Amino acid sequence: MKIDDIKTIGVIGAGNMGHQIVTLCAIHGYKGICTDSDEATLKKAEAFVDRYLPGRVEKERLTAAQAEQARKNLTFTSSLKESSLQILTESRLPTQSLLPTALPLSVPASRMRLPGPKKLLMSTSSTLPWS
């Protein structure tokens, strides 16, 4: 897989770290899918984006067109059934459970089967077994 092959990035966990990761990806042209099992966290993440992007325009860090495109690139959902994901990063506390439809922590990352070809899993958690 080459960097130019990557079009869609998924983030498990819409908390402070997760929603900022997916927003940055969207600003840089990637489709970003942010998922969380808690609807309130998803709504808070989406509200952040809806304040943040216009704020970047006001401060002349982004053009209105760039902010609009970044927002179009973002999806917030409680489901991780997106077959177009090419990178999946997990951004959550080690004590939080993953979505039932997502990835079980007991399965080593090298054996995880993400839908479709050429997938990459990244984790910010030190509790995910990688061997």
Q: Which domain holds residue 33?
A: 12-123
- Mean pLDDT along residues 72-98: 66
CATH code of 17's domain: 3.40.50.720
Is position 50 within any domain?
yes
Q: Report the phi/psi class of residue 26: left, alpha or beta, with left for phi > 0 and alpha for psi in -120 to 50.
A: alpha
Distance CA 130, CA 58 (A): 43
Is position 68 within any domain?
yes
- What pTM did the predictor assign? 0.70
Is position 107 within any domain?
yes
Average pLDDT, the chain: 75
Is position 55 within any domain?
yes
- The mean-pLDDT minimum among 30-34, 48-52, 91-95 falls in 91-95
Is position 3 within any domain?
no
Is position 85 within any domain?
yes
Q: How many domains does the chain have?
A: 1
Tens of pLDDT, residue by residue over 91-119, are 655 544 444 344 433 333 444 454 555 55
